[in-house]
Amino acid sequence: MQILAMMVSVLGSVVSGTALFLLHRWFQKKDARDEQRDKAKAKENVLIIKSINAVGHLTEATAIALRDGKTNGEITTALKEYGKVDREMYNYLLARNAQK
């Protein structure tokens, strides 16, 4: 009878330990996926803010050029900034969609 009780106890411990190990591993993988998703989301937000800023500069430079009737290089600078941010966003979107 004691042997049966010991076997049940040991079996319970093994099942419990295995369950805890599997749960721990699952939570570690979930944390890693969540961290990767958060980093991607942060980069996406930075690119969105840069894009909005570049469009704002381009809009401002266009308004100044229309007001003054000349460009003074402001539009060229704003277009370069917008082109750079646009390429960054495009490359990010390509990389992001390639991962899925």
User: pLDDT of 79-98, one tens digit each?
Assistant: 899 999 999 999 998 888 88
Share of the chain above pLDDT 90, in %: 47
Nearest residue to 87 (alpha-carbon basis) of 60, 51, 61: 51
In this prediction the pTM is 0.66
Q: What is the pLDDT of residues 64-75, one digit of tens each?
A: 888 888 877 888
Q: Is the sign of the CA dihedral 78, 81, 83, 85 positive or negative?
A: negative
Residue 32 belongs to what domain range?
2-99
Strand ranges in 22-97 using DSSP code E only, listed in sequence order: none
How many domains does the chain contain in total?
A: 1
Q: Are 51 and 88 in contact (CB under 8 A)?
A: no
For 85, what's the count of Cα atoms within 13 Å in the CB-facing half-sphere? 22
Question: Cβ distance 74 to 61 under 8 Å?
Answer: yes
